[in-house]
A and B are shown apart, each in its own frame.
Chain A
Amino acid sequence: MTRAQGHRPGGIHVSQEDVRRLCEFVYRRTGMWFADNKRYYVDRRLAERIAATGADSFLAYFSLLRSDANHEIQHLVNAFTVNETYFYREEHQLRCMTSDLLPSIVHGKKAGEPIRIWSIPCATGEEPYSIAIWLMENWSEVDRYNIEIVGSDIDTRALEAATIGIYGERALNRLPPSVIGRYFQPAGVDAYRIDPGLTNSIQFTRANLVDVEDMRRYRDFDIAFCRNVLIYFDDTSRRSAAESLYDCLCPGGYICLGHSETMSRISPLFRVCRFSDAIVYQRPEHADDGR
Chain B
Amino acid sequence: MTDVEKLLDARILIVDDSSLVRLYYRDALQKAGCEVEQAINGIEAMEKVLAQKFDLVIVDVNMPRMDGFSFLRALRRGAPDVATLPALVITTEADAQDIDDARAAGGNFYLIKPISQPDLLRHVAVLTGAPT
With A28-B19, A274-B51 as contacts: A33 and B43 at CB distance below 8 Å: no
Beyond A24-B19, A263-B43, A273-B50: 19 further Cβ-contacts under 8 Å?
A28-B19, A31-B44, A33-B38, A262-B44, A262-B47, A264-B39, A264-B40, A264-B41, A264-B44, A264-B47, A264-B66, A265-B44, A267-B65, A268-B65, A268-B66, A274-B50, A274-B51, A279-B47, A279-B51
Which residues of B have CB within 8 Å of A262?
43-44, 47
- Bound-state CA distance A31–B39 (Å) is 9
Which residues of B have CB within 8 Å of A268?
43, 65-66
Which residues of B have CB within 8 Å of A105?
none
Number of A-B contacts (CB under 8 A): 35
Which residues of A have CB within 8 Å of B19?
24, 27-28
- Bound-state CA distance A74–B39 (Å) is 22
- Does B46 make an interface contact (CB < 8 A)? yes
- Does A55 make an interface contact (CB < 8 A)? no
Please list 7 pairs of residues, one from A and one from B, whose beta carbons are closer than 8 Å in the complex, sorted by A's number. A31-B44, A262-B44, A264-B40, A265-B44, A268-B43, A272-B50, A279-B47
Which residues of B have CB within 8 Å of A31?
44
Residues 8-51 of chain A, each 1 if its beta carbon lies under 8 Å from chain B, else 0: 00000000000000001001100101000000000000000000
How far apart are B24's CB and chain A's nearest CB, in angstroms?
13
Residue of A nearest to B73 (CB): A291
Residues 76-111 of chain B, each 1 if its beta carbon lies under 8 Å from chain A, else 0: 000000000000000000000000000000000000
List B residues 19-48 near A (Cβ within 8 Å).
Answer: 19, 38-41, 43-44, 46-47
Q: Which of A24, A33, A265, A272 contacts B46 (CB 8 A)?
A: A272
Interface residues, chain B, CB within 8 Å of chain A? 19, 38-41, 43-44, 46-47, 50-51, 65-66
Interface centre among B39, B43, B44, B50 (most CB of A within 10 A): B43
Q: Is the CB of B51 within 8 A of A264?
A: no
Q: Which of A27, A28, A264 contacts B43 (CB 8 A)?
A: A264
How far apart are A31's CB and chain B's nearest CB, in angstroms?
7
Residue of A nearest to B41 (CB): A264
Residue of B nearest to A23 (CB): B19
Residues 244-267 of chain A, each 1 if its beta carbon lies under 8 Å from chain B, else 0: 000000000000000000111101
How far apart are A26's CB and chain B's nearest CB, in angstroms?
11
- Bound-state CA distance A267–B41 (Å) is 11
How far apart are A87's CB and chain B's nearest CB, in angstroms?
26
Which residues of A have CB within 8 Å of B46?
272
- Bound-state CA distance A273–B46 (Å) is 9
Which residues of A have CB within 8 Å of B43?
262-264, 268, 272
How far apart are B14's CB and chain A's nearest CB, in angstroms?
12
How far apart are B81's CB and chain A's nearest CB, in angstroms?
10
- Bound-state CA distance A272–B41 (Å) is 13
- Bound-state CA distance A10–B66 (Å) is 42
With A264-B65, A268-B65, A272-B46 as contacts: A28 and B40 at CB distance below 8 Å: yes
